[in-house]
A and B are shown apart, each in its own frame.
Chain A
Amino acid sequence: MKNIFIYSLLYFFWIGNLVAQQTPAVQQTQAYSIEGATAHLGTGAVIENSLLIFNNGKITFVGKATAKIARQGTRIDATGKHVYPGFIAANASLGLVEIDAVRATDDEDEVGSMLPHIRSLIAYNAESKVVESMRPNGVLMGQITPRGGTISGTSSVVQFDAWNWEDAAIKKDDAIHINWPGSLTRGRWWMGEDPALKLDPKYGENIQKIVTYFADAKRYLSSNQKRENIPFAATKGLFNGSQKLFIHANGEKEITDVITNMKAIGIHNLVLVHAKGAENVANLLLKNNVPVVIERSHRIPEGEDDDFDLSYRNAKILMDKGITVGIGMEGQMERMNTRNLPFYAGTYAAYGVEREEALKMITLNNAKILGVDSFVGSLEVGKDATLFISEGDALEMKGNILTDAFIQGRKISLETHQTKLWKRYSNKYKTN
């Protein structure tokens, strides 16, 4: 009996190994030269017939293939293909939930409403099957964000090829996230109240709670308190500028209140998330240098008779006003859908945004918004060699077919739980 137990344990581990996630790649030991591809730099610029060289995890050359410089290390002929900087998913929650319907796998929403000290990073599952499925689509980095409450917690930016969360982090505790209250509310019909939309009489009070919270935190931080207030201490970066405040807010009124109140309190590093109606207060955003992380384009318009393509045109509308726009992931089935990030950008491109600008939303713009643009987000010399080669236009479903991908110069596997099953069953039918 005991033996059976041991055998089954052994069997479990053995099988476990078989279906385990991709082993993180080893550190880059030799240079790569990618030649002949159309390079989409992520800055808006494109180099046809390009040459890209990287070594020790960093890009050392970006230019025309006609450049007369020595190719280094492994040469990859990418003629007819495209090379891109790794895509970055903002406001994502990968690795915090594995299977939506299984509560035991759900770690995205902590109890409480003011939780700046709650950190997503330590719960981030670097070995998630969902995370690894990002890589064959070119999505190589993401901002892992807790959900719920008023102050949801603190996010971190990770890359998707790691043994553990420490390896994964490329920017620890990059931002704190707030869900800003809405100014409108509706009655609770189940309590017999009128379900009609009305002004929320508690809106002012709700804002005040946030303002007071930060004011108290600021006072705490500037004094010598003997007993540590853990949540207040967690907001330090907001006031010294090392951390950003992501505010999930909708409506012109709310956006205006966000900016005026947070500026007044001394929090200057602001990012708006979702930000419906931001186009109508664009000047305020521009004046205060506030970018917007918009939602996925694949949404049903909210209003019954909104233009059918209103959600598709969201990016165009904001960009026309000069606002810096990135794309975020929050929404229905967001974990598994994060691999569709390039297609959200593609759809925004179909509806008005110039293609390289659309690409920018998930590369350099998102890098800037997350504060990681000094080392990722574009194909530029000195930046991390986090990039990939695609057979075609990576913003297109039919073009997004990856041949190679690198994270910090490490050549990563493009296999996943899903490709394994694909091969396993394709082989089954072949041999049958």
Chain B
Amino acid sequence: MRKLLLLCSLLLVMSANAQDYFPTNTGVKTTKNTVIAFQNATIYVTPQKKIKKGTLLIKDGKVVAVGKKVQIPTGTKIIDVKGKTIYPSFIDIYADFGIAKPKRVRSNNRTPQYDASRDGYYWNDHIRPETRATQSFKFDTKKAKNYLEAGFGVVNTHLQDGIIRGNGMLVALNPNASDAYRILENTSAQYLSFTKSLQSRQSYPTSRMGAMALLRQTYLDADWYAKGHVKNKDASLAALNKNKNLVQIFEAGNHLDALRADKVGDEFGIQYTIVGGGDEFERIADIKKTNANFIIPINFRKPYDVSNPNISKNIPLSDLRKWNQEPTNLAVLDKNGVNFALTMHSLKSMDAFHKNLQKAIELGFSKESALAALTTNPAKMLGSTNIGNLQPGSHANFIITSGDIFDAKTTLYENWVQGAKNVINDRHIKDLTGSYNLALNDVNYTLTISGKGAKQTAAVKLGDQKVKSKFSFKDNWIHITLNEANGYARLVGQTINTTNALQGTAYDDAGNETSWTAVKQVKKDKKTKKDKKKQKKDLKPFPVSYPNVGYGNYEIPNQETILIKNATVWTSEAAGNLENTDVLISKGKIEKIGKNLSAKAARVIDGTGKHLTAGIIDEHSHIATSAVNESGHNSTAEVTIEDVVNPNDMNIYRNLAGGVTTIQILHGSANPIGGRSAIIKLKWGENAAGMLLKNSPKYIKFALGENVKQSNWGASNTIRFPQTRMGTEQVFIDYFQRAKEYDALKKSGNPYRKDMELETLAEIINKERFISCHSYVQSEINMLMKVAEKFDFNINTYTHILEGYKVADKMKAHGVGASTFSDWWAYKYEVLDAIPYNAAIMANQGITVAINSDDREMSRRLNQEAAKTIKYGGMSELEAWKMVTINPAKLLHLDTRTGSIKIGKDADVVLWNHNPLSIYSKAEKTIIDGAVYFDIESDLAKRKAIQTEKSKLIKMMLDAKMGGGATQMPKKKRNRNFHCDSE
């Protein structure tokens, strides 16, 4: 009785619906407070709580009760769903439902836009936290139907535009209700991404690292604004502060960006919920470490069309392999304890959703987790307790199915949302699917019925011959027309109670009647255990390597104790070259150098006739990064390449094969003040963080000349300051002056607005960060030294420095080092006087000179480039070799750690088959921190393995194609060749 009372009070509360007080002018006011009970169903209240033969009682769009025994109030409409299963409807937590993507603003004017177009908002148009989904929402009935058919009851939608995108809203997919009912929450979360808004042409940020820097600065500014330091009103910052306590959903789209987003979030104490890309399995340990909730699309690629070998050979293993591995992503995430929800986002066709999900389940993703990822997980992520489950009080959002929702054979009958029925497949239509023995006029045909509900179709065969036929099944009547050699036969009939037999009357052309029957054949499962086992084995995906591309490592190389015997050792130190010498490497360091060394348990490598050198260091590289230039502003000291290191770049491996162990990844030369560098060791297989040098000295890229004044950018790029070398000087003076004043204010203890850009520049003035400056002609080289001297610091390195030879004396006096090309010139006007003798002249003046690449091709044979200084300018072999080892180490302030063979230094060494300066020389082993990262023998083995795996995958894809599955044409990877000028 008490229970009943409670129930009644609950009902009363719920019937007090918002629109009750609206006047009616079309008739008398009626209410339909229908209570409905669904009986005899298998009910999943939650993924964990399953009730067999249960009852679900709903009223006014909410669940009233659920259980084995439920009190049914009088007047309840009873629906018997015996044998059916009821699940909570699914939730898509990441959608753009009902919110049209804005059109990209177009302009006939090709001149870039550097300033914001809005007034009263943040200085960057791509920061739009003030956006509210409700402003542009329009319920999309057609799309809702697709969602309902797939089993979804609620979607969380927002305007997918911009870097900070504002609020989303939670909508029940209830086509016949008004927004007043179906909008469950109008500020469901705040959304973010790395992608710019289509509604503005504002240039900044042009890169991933720029987007990351912008996010950081926005957070800092929001804090500064919240503290009341800002005089003006800023609608964006105000909104951002208001949205602070909402769930923050970040669209990353791939594992690298997921880790990048998480890093930014962590810096500001924000744990983003991250929209992934389906490739999380490639770096699952890192994904797990984020502790983020994930939203995962299940957009598996189709097998590639490999039927044309001319095309198929252009598909890299990494793509072929992903086709095979992608479907395991959900199981991998689940097994690693990553909490995630599923989304239809990025799925082209909603039909693929269930198919892909079934595939994932086949590969080990548990059904319970699947259901949770579609119901309770997204609900929890949004902080909603009344969706995604069928507990009393929750929205009456549920689906009725013929059975297990994750089984391909299951039919989804109805999807109830807020207590309103949406029929997907009429559950009263009998399921006739199966094979029948159709007897007509003593002839036995085979009738095969397939499909679901009203869409069931049939094929008829006589023996092996197909018989032309037409079939329909409507309102429980079967119509079959057979086109036989001797005329037509028209069959009309019905099922006999059970669906095991059909019977009825047939008419021939003359109108003669006869009866027909069709008896269902019981299929025997012919698959033996062996077959099943074989099938399971086939399902086993190819293992993931690190990175997950050809030549990737299945295990990250370990530090070894290595004794290299009897080699010519190029020390790059005062000791010069040591003949017939042994080097012992242990615990990542060079432990001993000498003759007749021995060490227990060391791996001994015979170096007889070979040459051992320090690993090559490239002062100027643009490999292993996802971005090079942030060209949206003339100063971008706030961005850092460390944010965008890409450990999956094949050029890392190719550089290892050329004996390179350490590189500085520089920002490009799109602006006078570029971004901060990343210094990495080429530890192929490690993640981005693992490659970054520990306790790395800090660097930033500056640039001069044609690139920064946009000389070769076309006629529309003539508005950004500076357009001349004269202006370039003023950019530096302006920024350093401001940085100086900023630093003084900061040190004064007074409140100050934290500015990432000025922080970085202040580090330079404070001699905590070094400049590597892209430079060509002597006038500007001279100028920048004068600017630095004015602010009492030194330029550390001039990179490229092609006219350095003209001012070598001034450079020496200033104390700057040089990192130059061996022989590049004539590609633009400012390199007309670039000469290959440059390195030699500068070295002769006592400048520390390195030879750099700026090019992923040249970087893998810097040994050859160093040799050019012997030809041009007569450097000795020892001095030439230093230009790619200890000299760049000095320029990078790493000379106490690497760059030469000296006891105690990092074991970054290369074993060559010849004199390393010879063109006939090859790197046989490249060792970093005592671990072998490249071995010319293992390379051959890897080549073979790649061929084998490719052949297997191509065969599997041919099987898929011949089996009739859809295929896609290959997307050949376009490897971008990054230079200084790269956008």
Contact = CB atoms under 8 A, between A and B. Distances in A.
B829 A101 contact: yes
Nearest to B319: A304
B136 interface: no
Interface in A389-432: 395-398, 400-401, 418-419, 421-422, 425-426, 429, 432
A186 B860 CA distance: 30
Interface in A190-208: 194-199
Interface in A174-201: 183-184, 186, 194-199
Contacts of B873: 422
A300 B858 CA distance: 9
A99 B827 CA distance: 5
Interface stretch (B371-379, B664-672, B767-775, B919-927): B919-927
Interface stretch (A152-160, A284-292, A341-349): A341-349
Contact of A130 (B826, B857, B861): B826
A359 to B, nearest CB: 12
Interface in B666-713: 706, 711-712
Contacts of B310: 183-184, 251-253
Contacts of A26: none
Interface string B387-401: 000000000000000
B828 interface: yes
A305 B828 CA distance: 33
B654 interface: yes
A350 B922 contact: yes
A425 B805 contact: yes
A397 B871 contact: yes
A336 B867 contact: no
User: Looking at chain B's contact residues, is the secondary structure mostly helix, strand, loop, or mixed?
Assistant: loop
A75 interface: no
Given A99-B826, A101-B706, A308-B939, A425 B921 contact: no
B557 interface: no
A135 B304 CA distance: 51
A339 B823 CA distance: 10
Interface residues of A, number: 53
B829 A305 contact: no
Nearest to A345: B919
B844 interface: yes
A432 B809 contact: yes
Contact of B972 (A186, A347, A395, A418): A186
A305 B841 contact: no
Interface residues of B, number: 70
A309 interface: yes
B164 interface: no
B657 A309 contact: yes
Contacts of B975: 300, 304
A168 B651 CA distance: 42
Given A101-B706, A308-B939, A426-B841, A343 B311 contact: no
B58 to A, nearest CB: 46
A100 interface: yes
B827 A196 contact: no
Nearest to A307: B943
A303 interface: yes
A397 B867 contact: yes
B653 A308 contact: yes
A340 interface: yes
B870 A298 contact: no
Given A99-B827, A304-B975, A350-B919, A398 B657 contact: no
Contacts of A251: 310
A199 B551 contact: no
A404 B856 CA distance: 35
A280 to B, nearest CB: 10
Interface in B810-847: 823-829, 832-833, 835-837, 841, 844-845
B657 A422 contact: no
A69 interface: no
Interface string B310-327: 110110111000000000
A326 B668 CA distance: 36
Contacts of B977: 300
Contacts of A305: 316-318, 549-551, 650, 946
Interface in A293-309: 298-301, 303-305, 307-309
Contacts of B872: 422
A199 B311 CA distance: 8
A422 B843 CA distance: 13
A349 B969 contact: no
Contacts of A333: 824, 826-827
Contacts of B549: 304-305
Interface string B914-932: 0001111110000000000
B528 interface: no
Contact of B809 (A130, A253, A429): A429
Contacts of B824: 333, 336
Contacts of A15: none
A305 B317 CA distance: 7
Contacts of A422: 805, 835, 837, 841, 872-873
A197 B308 CA distance: 11
A408 to B, nearest CB: 25
A380 interface: no
Contacts of B753: none
A426 B806 CA distance: 9
Give 9 closest A-B pairs by Cβ, nearest first: A305-B550, A196-B969, A101-B828, A397-B867, A304-B316, A422-B837, A346-B919, A418-B835, A398-B870
Given A305-B650, A335-B826, A422-B835, 7 more contacts: A100-B828, A186-B972, A308-B654, A308-B939, A336-B823, A396-B918, A429-B845
Interface of A: 98-102, 129-130, 183-184, 186, 194-199, 251-253, 298-301, 303-305, 307-309, 333, 335-336, 339-340, 343, 346-347, 349-350, 395-398, 400-401, 418-419, 421-422, 425-426, 429, 432
Interface of B: 308, 310-311, 313-314, 316-318, 549-551, 650-651, 653-654, 657, 706, 711-712, 805-806, 808-809, 823-829, 832-833, 835-837, 841, 844-845, 856-858, 860-861, 864-865, 867-868, 870-873, 877, 880, 917-922, 939, 943, 946, 968-973, 975, 977
29 contacts: A99-B829, A100-B827, A101-B827, A102-B828, A102-B829, A129-B826, A129-B832, A195-B971, A197-B311, A198-B311, A253-B310, A298-B858, A301-B654, A303-B314, A304-B550, A307-B943, A309-B657, A333-B827, A336-B826, A346-B919, A347-B919, A349-B920, A395-B919, A401-B871, A421-B833, A422-B805, A425-B805, A425-B806, A429-B809
